[in-house]
Amino acid sequence: RIDENTKPTEFKTILFALCWFHAIVCGRRRFGPQGWSRAYSYNDGDLTICGLVLFLYLDMNPEVPWQDLRYLFGEIMYGGHVTDPWDRVQLNSYLKIYITEQLFDGFQLAPGFPTPKMEPLSYKDVFGYID
């Protein structure tokens, strides 16, 4: 289904960053009150629905609607769990960093871990890149 999008390279690249964002958001729970002020119930369903929204928004728009995507992910999908205003600021800060046009220019998701060039990569290649 990934290659059915009218912008497959953009879809794969942003989805990769969205998975990274999801891992960070879920990982912060391990740190208790130093991670999030409350225990939010983020799960794989949040990532799945964001992937579907991403798919549809890329198909419906001539260019990547960065601001719309950050709003939907940060205020509605993941943000729908958030009740603390400081946690909302943190969540949206992550989205401003990771959901950006710079993803297509080798943006460093972490030191030494740039966003891969998705155009030539298959599903299996992406897993190899992560390993």
> Would the pLDDT of 89 be above 90?
yes
What percent of the chain has pLDDT above 90? 69
- pTM for the whole structure: 0.91
User: Tell me, what's the pLDDT at 87?
Assistant: 94
**pLDDT, mean of residues 96-118:** 92
Quote the distance between the C-alpha of residue 16 and its chain's center: 7
Q: How far is CA 37 from CA 16, 49, 62, in A?
A: 27, 24, 39
Would you tell me how many other CB atoms lie within 10 Å of the CB of residue 110? 8
d(CA 16, CA 115): 8
**pLDDT, mean of residues 101-118:** 91
Q: What residue type is 67 in one-letter code?
A: Q
| Whole-number average pLDDT of the chain | 91
8: nearest Cα among 50, 46, 55, 53: 55
What tokens were used for 27? 């990982």
The residue whose two tokens read 């799945």 is 48
List, in sequence order, every residue forming a beta bridge with 108; answer none if it has no partner: 114
